[in-house]
Chain A
Amino acid sequence: MPLVAFWFIVITVLWTGFLVLEGFDFGVGMLHGVVGRDEAGRRAAINTIGPLWDGNEVWLIVAGAAIFAAFPGWYATMFSGFYLALVLLLMALIVRGVSFEYRGKGLSQRWRSSWSIVLAIGSLLAPLLIGVALGDLLHGLPINSHQEYTGSFWTLLQPYGVYAGITFLAVCLLHGATFLTLKTTGELRARAGRLARRMAPATALIVIGFVAWTHVIAGKGALWNPIELAVALAVLAAAWLVLAHQEGWAFAITTITMAGCVIAIFTDLYPRVMVSSTSPAFSLTVRNTASGDYTLKVMTVVAIILLPFVLLYQGWTYHVFRRRVSASDFAPAPPAPRMADGTIPEAAAAPVPAGRASAGGRPASRPPAPPGPRKPPRRGWWQRRGGHGPRG
């Protein structure tokens, strides 16, 4: 296999990995406010992806850097051509990334709900914009003979691209809902399941429309690309499994659906990487944008050595955090100064002014006190041990 083809596959794998993994993060980010009715529920929803989202987002960084290293011409044209769209995407990813960290660090309810909104908007914009961008690659954009983009921001919003964006958004939503169903308990799980069932049929229709449109846009003859067929079947299977309450299988198949959507675009693209709507002769291909042979060889060695390790330890992370997260883990504290697990909160032991007697540990944010005459004392991380002690 020529190295350029190998690197096209690597980049397809990286984008697929990114959208499959970060896809459910986006979904959870959009849905956490809907699935979690109270602060405890929202925190539980966010904490299902807490240890994972950062590692998942690196797939995007690596996908971008891999394009830069392997196909500098592609990187240059795409990133400068999509300029304002990428500014918007960066904004979405930035506010979303910090909102995880900052949301729990403030003490007021308003602070937390503001960051919740930011998290939801960022998680909505990111897959939408990425979907539009991937759709644009295949649909074609005005690109001249010097491989320069000649359109404007509005040129990027052609119908197929926008539809691709909506498709990725819809798949992320379903993917996130099935993930939440799989990773939470009790009421959260039930609500996530209900949401997934409500979204599944619509998502299936959207994806099938996307597959058909993609087939037409790709213009590779009447014969369907097997990946396209697989996506259509997968999304139907996913919808059926969601409706049949098969949580594990449903998530597995939404994963395949997401992967299929990405792979379908990339297989229809090959050997082009960006289609020129100005003239087919100006389309960017794996050949006319590729790095030198030496660079590709070096990068191949590096990728073959490192990628297995990455997959191994990221897989292990998912294994470590395989347990479901419960809203009760984040419920308000029992009033006793000495906890069931034998910890003594310093706040109770030492004479500290009440305002400063909070935990130095991570979630200083505590669930809001339930309405009522008796306010239970605030609860810090050291008191949080699932299943111990009475619940207020």
Chain B
Amino acid sequence: MSTLDLARWQFAFTSINHFLFVPITIGLAFLTALLQTAWYRGRRPEYLRLTRFFGTLLVINVAIGVVTGLVQEFEFGMNWSNYSRLVGNIFGAPLAMEGLAAFFLESTFLGLWLFGWDKLSRRVHLLTIWLVAVGSALSAAFIMAANSWMQHPVGYVLNSRHQPQLNDIWAVLTNPVFVWGYAKVLFASLVTGAAVMLAVSAWQLRRGGNRDVFTRSARLALIVLVPALLFAMLVGDELGVIEAKYQPMKIAAAEAQWTTCQPCSFSLIQIGGGNDDQTPTQILAIPHLLSLLATNHWDGKVVGLDPLQSQYSKKYGPGYYVPNVFIQYWSMRVMAYTGVLSFLIALWGLWLIRRRKLATSRVFLWTATWAVTLPFLMNTAGWLLTESGRQPWIVQGLQLTRNGVSPSVSTTDVVISLVAFVLLYGILGTVDLILMLRYSRKELAPAVAGDEKDEPVPAMLY
């Protein structure tokens, strides 16, 4: 394997792992803030107990999300120095803003929230968890702005040496790929956080945990989950249309559509397929659905991979511009199917709430516990679709991935770092999972009895 391949493997490995923890953080931060707001307004001790219970799960994840994020920031320079040199003046700006505007906010106020229970007034303490939630959502905004620029570069001019120079930051921050992609990430994070909360509540209800308290959290999770999933799918659809416009290869590859079609049907499942097998066996297809998804029109036209390839070869010179079709096709399916499946499970839960059977339906509680894996599959598949679909470009139309790699880093270096990261992440992921499971299965801590007398609640400590 070449240095390029290894560097790509390393970036994919570290970023996929990073994004297992990020959506839990963003989603749970908002949900914890909601729980604490409920406690603040109604003073019901159940909500305090829930706040602290889910707050503990939140901080277990924040720690690992922060440190794996540090790796991401360093890797641009470490493995992709030619890329950093070329586009740092555009790509670096949102990263620096992210640190200044979001990371400081998130981590400083997380410290205040965790350790400030007995030091801050209730109102100020409530504000700190909301600032953590806002900080985490803001950090996703800036990194998405940076990422969207790689998908659809805007707001720059090429200087005399053919280097892109930022000339309109506003264009970068209003990039349609960014606006819709960011909305999608926020909803996906809410889905992930709510799914975790639902699964933990369901497990507790199934194992005889405090029924009154965990029915509340399960209900809150479901009430957030259904609209968040719905919006995630709607936004995802619009994002698909936008990407079809700016990155037609990505969408055509996601459908393994080699020839241009109009109207286009959506393949539900196929056997075979890939860059070397252009005629896979179609099992099931829904007429017109792809046209609808890719163009918002019943009879929309989707240009195939072959015509796009010849068009790109003319525009950018000879080369192979088709992304990995197998990854595109299946990540699209996994994302869509897990999304729909989660949505059905969530609707089932809502129906049970209406029938007042949420806490007693053992089949649902069992399903909801295991359904926690779905959003993680959905998120990972979504990122594979987005990032693998950008290939062979590191910045669409501006730089090829193979030209972005660090010239001074040897293959041995990357082998060492890749092995080190895989081992370390493996250990940390296992520890995180063990702790999450252990704390999810814990008994609820009791509320403080002196609550009504406005006694301070003890801090959470290391």
A interface, CB within 8 angstroms of B: 43, 46-47, 50-55, 57-58, 60-62, 64-66, 68-73, 75-81, 83-84, 86-87, 90-91, 93-95, 97-98, 100-106, 147-150, 153, 291-292, 294-295, 298-299, 302-303, 306-307, 310, 313-314, 317, 320-321, 330, 341-347, 349, 352, 356-364, 380-382, 384-385
Q: Which residues of A contact B119 (CB under 8 A)?
A: 320-321
Q: Among B71, B103, B169, B413, point to the contact of A62 (Cβ < 8 A).
A: B103
Q: Are the C-beta atoms of B407 and A148 separated by less than 8 Å?
A: yes
Instruction: Select from chain A the residue with minimum beta-carbon distance to B109.
Output: A313
Give 7 A-B contacts (CB < 8 Å), ordered by A residue: A51-B111, A65-B92, A68-B91, A102-B63, A295-B90, A320-B112, A346-B444
Q: Are the C-beta atoms of A83 and B413 separated by less than 8 Å?
A: yes
Instruction: Select from chain B the residue with minimum beta-carbon distance to A54.
Output: B107
Q: How far is the CB of B44 from chain A (nearest CB, A)?
A: 17
Instruction: Using known A-B contacts A51-B111, A62-B100, A320-B119, determine if residue A295 contacts B462 with beta carbons closer than 8 Å.
Output: no
Instruction: Using known A-B contacts A57-B107, A69-B89, determine if residue A343 contacts B462 with beta carbons closer than 8 Å.
Output: no
Q: Which residues of B contact A346 (CB under 8 A)?
A: 443-446
Instruction: Select from chain B the residue with minimum beta-carbon distance to A329.
Output: B461
Q: Among A149, A299, A349, point to the contact of B96 (Cβ < 8 A).
A: A299
Q: How far is the CB of A336 from chain B (nearest CB, A)?
A: 14
Chain B 153-181 near chain A by CB (<8 Å), digits 1 or 0: 00000010000011101000000000000
User: Which 10 interchain pairs have the tightest Cβ spacing?
Assistant: A72-B88, A79-B77, A362-B460, A69-B92, A68-B92, A291-B89, A62-B99, A51-B111, A80-B81, A51-B115
Tell me if B366 is interfacial: C-beta within 8 Å of chain A: no
Interface residues on B, range: 35 or more
- In B80-102, the 8 Å CB interface with A consists of 81-82, 84-93, 95-101
Q: Which residues of B contact A330 (CB under 8 A)?
A: 461
Q: Are the C-beta atoms of A298 and B439 separated by less than 8 Å?
A: no
Q: Among A47, A61, A76, A150, point to the contact of B81 (Cβ < 8 A).
A: A76
Q: Among B95, B111, B166, B169, point to the contact of A68 (Cβ < 8 A).
A: B95
Q: Are the C-beta atoms of B408 and A149 separated by less than 8 Å?
A: yes
Please report whether the interface of chain B is mostly helix, strand, loop or mixed according to DSSP: helix
Q: Are the C-beta atoms of A105 and B60 separated by less than 8 Å?
A: yes
Report how far A90 CA is from B52 CA in the complex, Å.
31
Q: Are the C-beta atoms of A384 and B458 separated by less than 8 Å?
A: yes
Q: Among A93, A292, A306, point to the contact of B101 (Cβ < 8 A).
A: A306
Chain B 402-446 near chain A by CB (<8 Å), digits 1 or 0: 000011110001001100110010001001000100110111111
Tell me if B449 is interfacial: C-beta within 8 Å of chain A: yes
Tell me if B73 is interfacial: C-beta within 8 Å of chain A: yes
Q: Are the C-beta atoms of B445 and A62 separated by less than 8 Å?
A: no
Q: Are the C-beta atoms of B112 and A317 separated by less than 8 Å?
A: yes
Please report whether the interface of chain A is mostly helix, strand, loop or mixed according to DSSP: helix
Report how far A103 CA is from B441 CA in the complex, Å.
19
Q: How far is the CB of B43 from chain A (nearest CB, A)?
A: 16
Q: A68-B91, A83-B417 are in contact. List 15 more A-B contacts (CB 8 A).
A: A43-B462, A72-B85, A76-B84, A83-B409, A84-B413, A84-B416, A86-B74, A101-B62, A104-B462, A105-B60, A105-B438, A105-B439, A313-B109, A361-B56, A382-B458
Report how far A352 CA is from B445 CA in the complex, Å.
12
Report how far A80 CA is from B431 CA in the complex, Å.
30
Report how far A385 CA is from B459 CA in the complex, Å.
9
Instruction: Using known A-B contacts A101-B60, A364-B442, determine if residue A381 contacts B461 with beta carbons closer than 8 Å.
Output: yes
Instruction: Using known A-B contacts A54-B111, A76-B82, determine if residue A310 contacts B104 with beta carbons closer than 8 Å.
Output: yes
Report how far A59 CA is from B462 CA in the complex, Å.
22
Report how far A358 CA is from B445 CA in the complex, Å.
8
Q: Are the C-beta atoms of A58 and B461 separated by less than 8 Å?
A: no
Most buried by A among B49, B82, B86, B442: B442
Report how far A147 CA is from B406 CA in the complex, Å.
12
Q: Which residues of A contact B450 (CB under 8 A)?
A: 341-343
Report how far A352 CA is from B424 CA in the complex, Å.
37
Instruction: Select from chain A the residue with minimum beta-carbon distance to B115.
Output: A51
Q: Which residues of A contact B77 (CB under 8 A)?
A: 64, 68, 75-76, 78-80
Q: Are the C-beta atoms of B67 and A94 separated by less than 8 Å?
A: yes
Q: How far is the CB of A32 from chain B (nearest CB, A)?
A: 10
Instruction: Using known A-B contacts A68-B95, A76-B77, determine if residue A98 contacts B445 with beta carbons closer than 8 Å.
Output: no
Q: Which residues of B contact A55 (CB under 8 A)?
A: 104, 107-108, 111
Report how far A319 CA is from B461 CA in the complex, Å.
18
Tell me if B120 is interfacial: C-beta within 8 Å of chain A: yes
Q: Which residues of A contact B458 (CB under 8 A)?
A: 381-382, 384-385
Q: Which residues of A contact B99 (CB under 8 A)?
A: 58, 61-62, 65-66
Q: Are the C-beta atoms of B101 and A50 separated by less than 8 Å?
A: no
Most buried by A among B62, B69, B77: B77
Q: How far is the CB of A318 from chain B (nearest CB, A)?
A: 10
Tell me if B383 is interfacial: C-beta within 8 Å of chain A: no
Instruction: Using known A-B contacts A105-B439, A345-B446, determine if residue A314 contacts B104 with beta carbons closer than 8 Å.
Output: yes
Report how far A351 CA is from B86 CA in the complex, Å.
65
Report how far A75 CA is from B85 CA in the complex, Å.
8
Instruction: Select from chain B the residue with minimum beta-carbon distance to A325.
Output: B461
Q: Are the C-beta atoms of B59 and A62 separated by less than 8 Å?
A: no
Q: Are the C-beta atoms of A361 and B93 separated by less than 8 Å?
A: no
Tell me if B68 is interfacial: C-beta within 8 Å of chain A: yes
Q: How far is the CB of B37 from chain A (nearest CB, A)?
A: 19
Q: Are the C-beta atoms of A292 and B408 separated by less than 8 Å?
A: no
Q: Which residues of B contact A97 (CB under 8 A)?
A: 63, 66-67
Q: Are the C-beta atoms of A51 and B116 separated by less than 8 Å?
A: yes
Q: Are the C-beta atoms of A94 and B462 separated by less than 8 Å?
A: no
Report how far A46 CA is from B159 CA in the complex, Å.
52
Report how far A342 CA is from B454 CA in the complex, Å.
13
Q: Are the C-beta atoms of A76 and B104 separated by less than 8 Å?
A: no
Q: Which residues of B contact A60 (CB under 8 A)?
A: 70
Instruction: Select from chain B the residue with minimum beta-carbon distance to A78.
Output: B77
Chain B 335-379 near chain A by CB (<8 Å), digits 1 or 0: 000000000000000000000000000000000000000000000
Most buried by A among B95, B420, B460, B461: B461
Q: Are the C-beta atoms of B461 and A104 separated by less than 8 Å?
A: yes
Q: Which residues of A contact B87 (CB under 8 A)?
A: 72
Tell me if B78 is interfacial: C-beta within 8 Å of chain A: yes
Q: Among A54, A90, A298, A342, point to the contact of B169 (Cβ < 8 A).
A: A298
Q: Are the C-beta atoms of A62 and B104 separated by less than 8 Å?
A: yes
Q: Which residues of A contact B96 (CB under 8 A)?
A: 62, 65-66, 68-70, 299, 302
Report how far A299 CA is from B87 CA in the complex, Å.
15
Report how far A314 CA is from B112 CA in the complex, Å.
10
Instruction: Select from chain B the residue with minimum beta-carbon distance to A104.
Output: B462
Instruction: Using known A-B contacts A83-B406, A97-B67, A303-B100, determine if residue A344 contacts B449 with beta carbons closer than 8 Å.
Output: yes
Q: Which residues of B contact A345 (CB under 8 A)?
A: 446
Report how far A306 CA is from B59 CA in the complex, Å.
26
Report how far A347 CA is from B78 CA in the complex, Å.
51
Q: Which residues of A contact B167 (CB under 8 A)?
A: 292, 294
Instruction: Select from chain A the residue with minimum beta-carbon distance to B172.
Output: A298
Q: Which residues of A contact B84 (CB under 8 A)?
A: 68, 72, 75-76, 79
Q: Which residues of A contact B76 (CB under 8 A)?
A: 68, 75, 79
Q: Among B59, B108, B435, point to the contact of A313 (Cβ < 8 A).
A: B108
Tell me if B455 is interfacial: C-beta within 8 Å of chain A: yes
Report how far A50 CA is from B62 CA in the complex, Å.
14
Report how far A358 CA is from B443 CA in the complex, Å.
7
Q: How far is the CB of B120 from chain A (nearest CB, A)?
A: 7
Instruction: Using known A-B contacts A76-B85, A97-B67, determine if residue A65 contacts B462 with beta carbons closer than 8 Å.
Output: no
Q: How far is the CB of A335 from chain B (nearest CB, A)?
A: 18
Instruction: Using known A-B contacts A68-B96, A148-B408, determine if residue A362 contacts B461 with beta carbons closer than 8 Å.
Output: yes
Instruction: Select from chain B the residue with minimum beta-carbon distance to A346.
Output: B446
Q: How far is the CB of B369 from chain A (nearest CB, A)?
A: 18
Instruction: Select from chain B the residue with minimum beta-carbon distance to A306.
Output: B100
Q: Are the C-beta atoms of A77 and B104 separated by less than 8 Å?
A: no
